[in-house]
Chains A and B, each alone.
Chain A
């Protein structure tokens, strides 16, 4: 069991009580308390200007921030939910959601095993996520099959609406790296926040980004100074715990000239019968010669077999390669969420800047995913590469939606897109919607797409060697996704592989 004594680097924010920290830290050893019972402090349900002000006040924000939020809120009120995605979204009553929830103190009731859905237990024990959480929070890595020595990963853990702590702060500070919650950054580094917040994803960019701008409660902030290679990987760990609560986190990452950082994001949420809203915004600014790697393993609860519950995930993620030779690489594994609406995108503004997008999206049962990327080539000699692997099983619908646009000044630019879909069973769907726009004569865009079914001969071959059907599917699918799995940092690769297996459970036979 991890305790504070074993994790001396964890710097806990003021005002967060010890029990809350321990609860989160012990989520690992506390295997069966997936739905952590914690006494919460809520803002009243619903959204209006008072709620926006209340959130701002809870975060002790300066006036400029409150005004920024209110402006966004007013924009949002006039906006409509986007309808172009291939998604069937049930009516969401935005006034029936808690926009702020903070753990007050811990009140864990030891539960007997009988109370927990055995399927859920099996899922988490297979995934080994509890252990992972514990390790991540303790800041060590290197167990499992990776023979590597312990690698340090700094973590900012966000629990419902608040960041509860950040690890390795001192070590990062020595390198000049700022890694903290965004609420802290607003107070401590207002000049950076003012300069960059909303500069990649403007508040009014879309319905959900406006909503997020109005009510985002916390999130992570990263600044890597010029020429600094961040001494360790940074990560944010999001967890939605409270019921009926939306999570609206906001991440702002700035890589100054010549800087480098690899950033990991993990998310889980307990199983609930009612759907939950998640509308996050991630903005990444990359200056000259800087490079950012951003990896997500998204494992929100996807809803049950009938499509009940699960997270509605409406996320705007965008990186702006603002300087020449700037580079961004997105890697995502999307297995959770009832509904996913998400397009981590790259603006290739600087000359010779590069954008890469590697994605695995798995949709099983009643899940719906509409995900992809945008590559906006604005600068000369810019390069982009898209590798998307979509897997559909059960009755799920999985859409790849990608936009590649070569602007008139983006001469001699290149894009290569590889978009593969795999179908398991006969009731699911895979769709590919590429938008390609080329406005100059010297650029080249390539799009390759394939759709295939899990091959019966492959499955039989595996089974004849002793694997059961689900194991066989997992193996074949892992092979199908290999290119993307390999792009993940080691921290995530193993977890992602087991996730592939778990999220496809029940998809055959």
Chain B
């Protein structure tokens, strides 16, 4: 599914190198978590993979199902099945959530050579998905993320994910700013989307999200690299002892 090899990236103005050789493979159907202290490059990794401006890849490769991600525009990556759930979802005043969703769904379908959804089919689909995610109809009518609470914004991201049915989902600190209930709802949404042909890369600070979304593999990122990979127990270890022991281990 997702293959990242020796990925190096710096800020576009060359002022700072952030990714210093990331190696990571997420096979189909698996959930991987990336943990690590602030400033270790976790969010940058998600931005570089999704094609945000402002970063330059200086070395290495990243592919999705064999397709070279780095050669594609952000919208092409999305159509190829990559989805990034934003840490801070952007507000778009005046644009209804439904309009946004429909434009996105149909843009991807068009890019893949599929027929666009009719109004009726789209509405049916979106109501169905919203219901399973506990999103009320009122939220669908409001402008994208405008005036949404933190929890609503994250649920909206998961709704987009459910509508777009991506192959590879990256969740960038989706747990930040969520209370326990909201976190459970978001996790349930993610779990409902788990499928043999869909993978997740969950970027998080805390174990508590991983209590709900059980990862198959946990990676620890530090200073632009994956420094350790292990099973779910690795996250518990971090939770218990912090990163200090791990970093000391690496330094040895």
Binding site for B on A (CB under 8 A): 145, 455-458, 460-469, 471, 475-476, 478-483
Contact = CB atoms under 8 A, between A and B. Distances in A.
Contacts of B77: 464
Contacts of B74: 460, 463-464
A480 B93 contact: yes
Contacts of B90: 455, 457-458, 460-461
B148 interface: no
B125 to A, nearest CB: 16
Contact of B143 (A456, A469, A479): A479
A455 B95 CA distance: 14
A490 to B, nearest CB: 15
Contacts of A471: 103, 107
B78 A466 contact: yes
B121 interface: no
A304 B103 CA distance: 29
Interface string B78-108: 1100011010011111110001100111011
A443 B23 CA distance: 69
B160 A463 contact: no
Contact of B92 (A461, A466, A481): A461
Contacts of A468: 73, 75, 107
Contact of A466 (B52, B91, B119, B164): B164
B187 interface: no
Most buried by A among B75, B84, B105: B75
A463 B95 contact: no
A484 to B, nearest CB: 10
22 contacts: A456-B53, A457-B90, A458-B92, A460-B74, A461-B90, A461-B92, A462-B92, A464-B50, A464-B77, A465-B78, A465-B100, A466-B104, A466-B111, A466-B164, A468-B73, A475-B92, A476-B92, A476-B95, A478-B94, A479-B92, A479-B95, A480-B94
Interface size class of B (residues with CB under 8 A): 20 to 34
A221 B40 CA distance: 71
Contacts, number: 81
Contacts of A483: 94
Contacts of A476: 92, 95
Given A456-B53, A475-B99, A465 B160 contact: yes
A467 B53 contact: no
Contacts of B84: 464
Most buried by B among A456, A466, A481: A466
A478 B144 CA distance: 13
Given A145-B119, A475-B99, A475-B100, A464 B94 contact: no
A462 B90 CA distance: 9
Contacts of A469: 75
Contacts of B100: 462, 465, 475
Given A464-B50, A465-B160, A479 B107 contact: no
B107 A478 contact: no
B187 to A, nearest CB: 22
Most buried by A among B89, B100, B103: B103
A501 B70 CA distance: 28
B172 to A, nearest CB: 11
B107 A467 contact: yes
B152 to A, nearest CB: 16
A456 B160 CA distance: 20
Nearest to A147: B119
Contacts of A461: 86, 89-90, 92
A224 to B, nearest CB: 34
Main secondary structure on chain A at its contact with chain B? helix
Nearest to B146: A479
Contacts of A145: 119
Contacts of B103: 462, 467, 471, 475
Contacts of B164: 465-466
B251 to A, nearest CB: 36
A465 to B, nearest CB: 4
Nearest to B104: A465
A245 to B, nearest CB: 39
Contacts of B99: 475
B104 to A, nearest CB: 4
Contacts of B75: 463-469
Most buried by A among B77, B92, B100: B92
A210 B102 CA distance: 50
Nearest to B100: A475
B89 A479 contact: no
A460 B89 CA distance: 11
A408 B17 CA distance: 67
Contacts of B50: 464
Most buried by A among B51, B93, B95, B100: B95
A471 B73 CA distance: 14
Contact of B94 (A455, A463, A482): A482
Given A466-B107, A479-B143, A480-B94, 17 more contacts: A458-B91, A462-B104, A463-B75, A464-B50, A464-B77, A464-B83, A464-B86, A465-B75, A465-B164, A466-B75, A466-B164, A467-B104, A468-B73, A471-B103, A475-B103, A476-B95, A479-B93
Most buried by A among B74, B100, B107: B74
Given A145-B119, A475-B103, A479-B92, A463 B86 contact: no
A460 B94 CA distance: 17
Nearest first, the 7 closest Cβ-Cβ pairs linking A and B are: A479-B94, A482-B94, A479-B95, A466-B108, A465-B104, A466-B78, A463-B74
Contacts of B111: 466
A478 B93 CA distance: 10
A464 B89 CA distance: 11
Nearest to B109: A466
Nearest to A471: B107
A222 B93 CA distance: 39
A457 B53 CA distance: 10
A89 to B, nearest CB: 34
A479 B145 CA distance: 13
Nearest to A456: B53
